[in-house]
Amino acid sequence: MHTDIIQPPLIVHIIYRLGIGGLENGLVNLINQLPCDAYRHAIVCLKDSTDFKERLIRNDVDIYQFNKKEGQDWGSFVKLYKLLRQIKPTIVHTRNLAAIEYQVPAWLAGVKHRVHSEHGWDVSDPDGSNIKYQWIRRLIKPLIQRFIPLSKHLESYLTEKIQVSPKKITRICNGVDTRVFYPPTEKKAPLPDCPFSFSQDEVIIGTVGRMHGVKDQLTLVKAFIRICENDPEHKHKLKLLIAGDGPLKALAINLLEESQLTDHAWLPGERSDVAEIMRRLDIFILPSQAEGISNTILEAMATGLTVIATDVGGNPELVVDGKTGSLIAAADVVLMAEKILDYVNDAKKRHQHGQNAHQRVLQEFSLTAMVGRYKAVYDSLSS
């Protein structure tokens, strides 16, 4: 007598692209950490996937690449409809504005449960004020059973601007893997390809992230240049490290060349050794003009770094001003330079705020807690 093996429910995660980024990192962590016998997973990339998919530990995750055309690609809606009819997921989970419209073919395909997450703002709508985008979300709202904002700021946006019932909202902050991101346990060793010596005489400031638009690394570069031009001693002592790629990289290099500071900075592009880079920094800076809940802030805090961040989006939920770091206004070069100098000149405060940041991550932003909250949402829908 043959008995059918009952498989765990299938969740289809729909994202714009599987590349290096906070949203994608959170998704990979979630899939890796959810119990294998609880859920199966598939990822639909509206664009494509990169080597970032190699971070998936499970080998049973199907990845579908739609190579969506720019603008409205109706063929991609049909493609998703057909795929969902074929693989029959229990839950479809879209993330951010780029994917929310694909709730429509999911509903038409008869997918029983539909979830949508808001991770942060679109580059073309850094403060969520775009009326068109608000209406897109409102129109699709009835199809979505559970909204998951990653910050209080995004939760307020959903309730106030999109008029989502609080009963349909579950806020889940990102969690950080403290087995990967942790404070250095020994003296800083040289890093492959990096020109810095990492001696005790150097103070390394820096950031990690996509170099375009809303991330605004140019403000950090300008603050660094301001410090070096005003004080020869700090020019000798201070080093700038920016890991990430994008259109702002060339602009940043041009600014450094004009100021003859290229020897004092390292912009290596995208890196796969972010945790090692974090352990070489002394101060982490996030100059974004808008943010959801920043994975890189959490990773920096887990590494025991003082964080200087702009007072936007979910950043104030992570950085406790005056205790784990400092919050400043976005695009304020002068104030950023002042805060950097404050920590450069006060090593004791720098180390204390870094220790406080590490403890805060351990207590409030563990990966285990994040995964448990997502599982509870999925369980409540699929049971």
Same domain, residue pair 161 and 214: no
Output the six-digit token pair for 227. Answer: 């410090």
Q: What size, in residues, is the chain?
A: 383
| Domain hosting residue 42, numbered range | 10-175+367-382
Output the six-digit token pair for 157. Answer: 């946006």
pLDDT of residue 222: 98
Same domain, residue pair 154 and 282: no
**Kindly report the CA angle at 368 between 365 and 373, in degrees rounded to 5?**
85
DSSP state of 8: P
Same domain, residue pair 218 and 270: yes
Q: Which residues of the chain have pLDDT under 70?
A: 1-4, 123
Q: Does residue 217 belong to any structural domain of this protein? A: yes
Do residues 309 and 351 touch, judged by C-beta distance below 8 A?
no
| Cα dihedral sign, 380-110-70-47 | positive
CA distance 382 to 120: 26
| CA-closest candidate to residue 125, choices 294, 313, 331 | 313
How many contiguous H segments (helices) and E segments (strands) does the chain have? 15, 12
Upper half-sphere CA count for residue 299 (Cβ side, 13 Å): 23
Same domain, residue pair 262 and 317: yes
pLDDT of residue 2: 52
Query: Which residues lie below 8 Å from residue 134, measured CB to CB, with a gap of 6+?
Result: 128, 161, 162
CA distance 256 to 234: 16
Domain CATH for 100: 3.40.50.2000
Rg (CA), the chain: 22
Output the six-digit token pair for 278. Answer: 């974090």
Same domain, residue pair 221 and 343: yes
| CA-closest candidate to residue 120, choices 296, 271, 284, 333 | 296
Q: Does residue 187 belong to any structural domain of this protein? A: no
CA distance 296 to 283: 13
Q: Does residue 122 belong to any structural domain of this protein? A: yes
Q: Does residue 81 belong to any structural domain of this protein? A: yes
Query: Which residues lie below 8 Å from residue 308, measured CB to CB, with a gap of 6+?
Result: 283, 284, 285, 286, 325, 326, 328, 336, 339, 340, 343
The whole-angstrom distance between residue 31's C-alpha and the CA centroid of its chain comes to: 16
| CA-closest candidate to residue 278, choices 212, 369, 180 | 180
CA distance 292 to 361: 17
CA distance 67 to 47: 4
Bridge partners (DSSP) listed for residue 325: 307, 321
pLDDT of residue 207: 98
Q: Does residue 1 belong to any structural domain of this protein? A: no
Same domain, residue pair 208 and 333: yes
Same domain, residue pair 211 and 320: yes
Same domain, residue pair 376 and 297: no
Q: Does residue 186 belong to any structural domain of this protein? A: no
Same domain, residue pair 75 and 119: yes
Query: CA torsion angle for 356, 270, 148, 327 (degrees, to 10)?
Result: 40
C-beta atoms surrounding 43 within 10 Å? 23
Question: To which residue do tokens 């979910």 refer?
Answer: 314
Q: Does residue 110 belong to any structural domain of this protein? A: yes
Same domain, residue pair 26 and 166: yes
CA distance 305 to 22: 18
Same domain, residue pair 253 and 350: yes
Q: Does residue 196 belong to any structural domain of this protein? A: no
Angle between helices 22-33 and 367-382 (to 10 degrees): 70
Same domain, residue pair 130 and 278: no
Do residues 171 and 151 touch, judged by C-beta distance below 8 A?
yes
Count of domains for the chain? 2
pLDDT of residue 199: 87
